[in-house]
Chains A and B, each alone.
Chain A
Amino acid sequence: MDTQVVNSGSTDSRAVAPRSEADSSAGTDLIPNGSGQQADMPALIRPDSRLVIVAGLGMMGRLRLALTDLADTWRLRRLVATLAFLDIRLRYRGSLLGPFWLTLSTGLMVGALGFVYSHLFHTKLHTYLPFLSLSLVLWNFINALVTDGCLAYTSNEAMIRAARMPLSLHAARSVARNVLVLGHNILVIVVVFTIMNVWPGRVALMMLPAFALWMIDGLAISILLGGFCARFRDVPPIVASVMQIAFFVSPIIWSPEILAHRGIGIVLLNWNPFYALLEIVRAPLLNQMPTLATWGSALGYSGALVLVTAVFFTRARSRIAFWI
């Protein structure tokens, strides 16, 4: 076959109007060239695009770019999901149980802690174990979200330096990966609830808006900590120790009722962002309605986090590639 013919043919088929932004979503513009093409000629054609990068933009210009970054990540959500899925598969490639190793270890931990602490706290296993399994699984999720978020950019250095892609994509990938892990761990909760035969009523649906809030917070904290940890390399261990302290001072293995009538409870419960955020998901699943005050502080802490992240990402987005 004549190279020239294939060449002009594929050039003609690229009748695409110029776009205003880089890389449009429409895969339909890429026209496969049929099977009879020569090996040296690529068959798929990139859609036209236009990219203008100007230095020294004002705050509004930078904010627009930060929002474009988020919109691009949304457009690439299939890539985010695939990356997260491959992350999990890679982590457990060659292991017998695969990701269910996590489920098993969480289950063992719930079992062991359950027996010890139900004795220590003089509570009944029947009520304590469902509480503990739920708390531990949810806390593991929060903890992994935060510690993985720290590495969102530094662990993807090769990808970031290879091509222009939205930076929030790496944060979204970390969140998606941990949601998949949570999906495996839910099995522990289901098993415990079945054994103890405790099931929440319709109030459990209240965890849905709460979980949506978690997703927003998770993305925000990954963008924020990811960038911060790329700039300051001693932040990840600091974050890890903060999370460890938070685990002990928040009502995760101990029930908030223990502190209800003591002075210290006001500090540990009312001024603890982890408590408010945990409670809006946990309480409905234990058949309790979270109070308005709890929801209020969860929303307040989330709002503050999103605001800080927005300011940080608007200012620092273009610098992150230099930091890693």
Chain B
Amino acid sequence: MTRISVEHLSIDFPLYHGESRSLKKTVFAAASGRRLGQDGRKRLVVQAVRDVDFELHSGDRLGLIGANGAGKSTLLRTLAGIYEPSGGRITIEGALSALLDASQGMNPDLTGRENIRLRGLFSGLNPKQIEQLELDVAQFAELDDFINLPVRIYSSGMVVRLGFALATAIRPQILLMDEWILAGDAAFMGRARARLESMVQGAEILVLSTHAPDVVMQWCNRVIWLEGGRVRGDGTPHEILQQYLPSDQFAQASMALAARTKREADGMANQQAA
């Protein structure tokens, strides 16, 4: 059973800058008796996420919205298990894959093929499966001959396609995505959507963090609105977006969605024709 459960989740993000980065300064502050203990406690932290609760089940497609710095990306990284929370509890049941930034932890100096191989090894595949993975990713990302060239020289669209293909080629049950996926071209977006839809139909979970309201309307069936690290609203995209957006922008987003859907359908059709 695929499930995400988040209980009273809080994340303090420590800010290190200037002097607190320096061992010399820290040691000298201690030696000269300048209240190190207090320094330690006075460490500057951003309360990135505060007391967030939610539970997701199979088939849920959650959109996280909120202003810059509302804690969307931090929450995604915490769900991915990268940041460990300072309060609360997370339970993830199901194989998880995260697309948090376009480069996906790829080494830009290595070729596409080498990066795919590393991902295969990370996922515990055997050599035959890694071959399969290479085929699958190269085909979906349409890299052609670029697969043997360093990722550094790829166009940003190609990096996005490769990242998306890598994150979904070994089929996850839970997919976490940040909004960079929007950098893909229309035809690719159509195919990405088809792949995600087939994935979510197979009773899997999607969590998407974005600024774009039309993307939320298109992809999600539930929305959580974060503000200052807390949940401001939780409900269907229609309900929450109506509160979140000024009314004229809400209408605009609906129109943008219609246009985007058409563009992607056209893109797909063109590609199939070609």
A interface residues, Cβ below 8 angstroms from B:
3, 7-8, 10-11, 18, 22-28, 30, 32, 39-56, 75-76, 78-79, 82-83, 86, 90, 93, 158-165, 228, 231-235, 238, 318-319, 321-323
Contact = CB atoms under 8 A, between A and B. Distances in A.
A25 B203 CA distance: 24
Contacts of B172: 46
Assign chain B's interface to a size class.
Answer: 35 or more
Given A161-B77, A164-B80, A232 B22 contact: yes
A79 B118 contact: yes
Contacts, number: 182
B88 to A, nearest CB: 6
Nearest to A238: B23
Contacts of B77: 161
A26 B124 contact: yes
Contact of A42 (B92, B126, B195): B195
B170 A32 contact: no
Interface stretch (B109-117, B222-230, B257-265): B109-117
A86 B114 CA distance: 9
Given A46-B171, A162-B100, A233-B22, A55 B82 contact: no
B121 A76 contact: yes
Nearest to B94: A48
Nearest to B91: A52
A6 to B, nearest CB: 8
A51 B81 contact: yes
Contacts of A56: 86-87
Contacts of B180: none
A53 B24 CA distance: 34
Contact of A48 (B10, B107, B125, B173): B173
Nearest to A228: B23
Contact of A49 (B96, B98, B201): B96
A76 B122 contact: yes
B129 A30 contact: yes
Nearest to B26: A232
A235 B27 CA distance: 12
Given A44-B136, A79-B122, A163-B105, A318 B198 contact: no
B109 A51 contact: no
A44 B110 CA distance: 23
B98 A162 contact: yes
Nearest to A157: B105
Interface of B: 10, 13-14, 16, 21-24, 26, 77, 80-98, 100-101, 103-107, 109-110, 114, 117-118, 121-126, 128-129, 132-133, 136, 139-140, 168-173, 191, 194-195, 198, 201-203
Contacts of A232: 21-23, 26
B124 A42 contact: no
A163 B82 contact: yes
Contact of B171 (A44, A161, A164): A44
A75 B93 CA distance: 21
The interface residues of chain B, by DSSP majority, are classed as: mixed
Contacts of A25: 124
Nearest to B123: A46
B22 A11 contact: no
B255 to A, nearest CB: 28
Nearest to A42: B171
Given A10-B171, A51-B91, A55-B89, 14 more contacts: A23-B124, A40-B191, A40-B194, A41-B198, A44-B132, A45-B171, A48-B94, A49-B92, A56-B87, A82-B121, A161-B100, A163-B82, A163-B105, A322-B83
Nearest to B122: A79
Contacts of A24: 124
Contact of B84 (A8, A46, A53, A234): A53
Nearest to A81: B121
Contact of A40 (B26, B85, B98, B140): B140
A55 B85 contact: yes
6 contacts: A24-B124, A42-B171, A48-B93, A56-B87, A90-B107, A323-B16
Nearest to B2: A48
Contact of B82 (A79, A164, A238): A164
Given A44-B170, A45-B171, A52-B91, A162 B124 contact: no
B74 to A, nearest CB: 10
B169 to A, nearest CB: 5
A159 B81 CA distance: 13
A293 B12 CA distance: 49
Contact of A55 (B87, B126, B191): B87
Contact of B126 (A27, A161, A319): A27
Given A79-B118, A321-B82, A54 B173 contact: no
Contacts of A318: 84
A31 to B, nearest CB: 9
Interface centre among B88, B129, B140, B168 (most CB of A within 10 A): B129
